C-alpha cells in the first residue's frame, strides 16, 4: 500500500515539474516575442534617414518636390543633384521652415507605416512637425521605445558665389503610436 501511494506522489511530482517547465518555457518564449520591436523601429529610423540622404531631387517623381513640380517651377528648388536631406538642410539654412515641413511631408508619404510617428530635426530645430500636436507630444512622452538615427549634411547654397551651408546634424526620431 505504501509503495502504491508513493507512485501517486511521483506522478504528481512529475506533473507539477512538467507544469513548471511548461510555464517556464512559455515565459521565455513570450519574452522573445518582444525582442524584434526595437530592431524594427531602429530599422525604420535608419531607413527614413537613408531614404532622405540617398535619393536626389532628380530621382523623385513628386508633383510638389520633384523636377517640374511646384517648388521647382517656383524656383525654390534649383539643384536637381541635391539629395532630399540636402534640400531640407538648404531650406533650413535659408530659414524656409514651412517649405521644409511640407517638403518632408510630401517626400516621406508612405515611407513610414501609419502605426509609427516620426520627427525630423536639423541642427537642433524640429522641422517636421514644426508645431507638434498635443496627441503627438503625448505619444512621444508615453512611448516605451523611441529610436533615433543621425547623419551629417551639408551643401552649396549659391553655386555662383560658392557659399556653403552646414555641416548640420540631421536627426530622425521614430516611435510606435
Partner 1 sequence: MGTIKISIKKRGIFFTFIAITIMTVFILVFTPQADISLKKDMQSVASRISSIDNYVDDLENNYFETILRATAYKTILSLIFYMNSTGSYIATLDSAFSEVMMTGKINGVPIDSITGKKIMNNNTLTDWSKRIIDAAEDTLNVNTTINVSGVSVFQTKPWNIDSSMSVNFTVKSNVAEWKKSAVITATISIEGLHDPYYLVNTNKAYTNQIKKSTVEFNQWNIAKLREHLRNGTYVHWENSDAPSFLMRFTNTISSSNCCGIESMVNPNKITPSDQRESYADYFFWQHKFANNCTQLYNITGLWDEFRYFKLDFDHVTRYNITAQDAVRSC
Give the interface with partner 1 as residue ranges (CB under 8 A).
Answer: 3, 6, 10, 17, 21, 24-25, 28, 31-32, 35, 39, 42, 46, 149-152, 154-156, 160, 162-164, 166-169
Rounded CA-CA distance 7/46 in Å is 60
Q: Looking at beta carbons only, is 14 or 94 nearer to partner 1?
A: 14
Rounded CA-CA distance 83/155 in Å is 9
Q: Looking at beta carbons only, is 87 or 106 nearer to partner 1?
A: 87
Kindly state the smallest distance separating residue 98's Cβ from partner 1, in Å.
Answer: 25
Kindly state the smallest distance separating residue 175's Cβ from partner 1, in Å.
Answer: 17
> Taking the CA of residue 3 as centre, how many other CA atoms within 13 Å lie in the half-sphere pointing to its CB?
0
Kindly state the smallest distance separating residue 2's Cβ from partner 1, in Å.
Answer: 8
User: E strands within the chain?
Assistant: 116-122, 125-128, 146-158, 163-176
Residues 139, 175 contacting (CB under 8 angstroms): yes
Q: Looking at beta carbons only, is 35 or 131 nearer to partner 1?
A: 35
Amino acid at each position: 500500500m505504501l509503495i502504491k501511494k508513493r507512485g501517486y506522489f511521483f506522478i504528481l511530482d512529475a506533473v507539477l515539474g512538467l507544469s513548471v517547465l511548461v510555464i517556464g518555457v512559455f515565459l521565455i518564449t513570450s519574452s522573445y516575442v518582444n525582442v524584434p520591436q526595437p530592431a524594427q523601429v531602429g530599422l525604420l529610423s535608419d531607413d527614413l534617414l537613408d531614404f532622405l540622404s540617398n535619393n536626389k531631387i532628380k530621382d523623385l517623381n513628386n508633383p510638389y518636390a520633384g523636377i517640374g513640380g511646384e517648388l521647382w517651377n517656383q524656383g525654390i528648388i534649383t539643384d536637381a543633384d541635391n539629395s532630399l536631406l540636402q534640400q531640407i538642410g538648404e531650406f533650413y539654412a535659408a530659414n524656409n521652415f514651412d517649405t521644409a515641413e511640407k517638403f518632408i511631408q510630401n517626400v516621406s508619404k508612405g515611407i513610414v507605416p501609419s502605426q509609427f510617428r516620426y520627427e525630423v530635426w536639423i541642427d537642433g530645430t524640429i522641422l517636421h512637425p514644426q508645431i507638434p500636436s498635443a496627441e503627438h507630444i503625448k505619444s512621444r512622452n508615453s512611448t516605451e521605445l523611441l529610436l533615433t538615427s543621425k547623419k551629417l549634411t551639408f551643401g552649396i547654397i549659391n553655386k555662383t558665389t560658392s557659399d556653403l551651408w552646414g555641416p548640420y546634424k540631421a536627426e530622425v526620431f521614430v516611435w510606435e503610436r
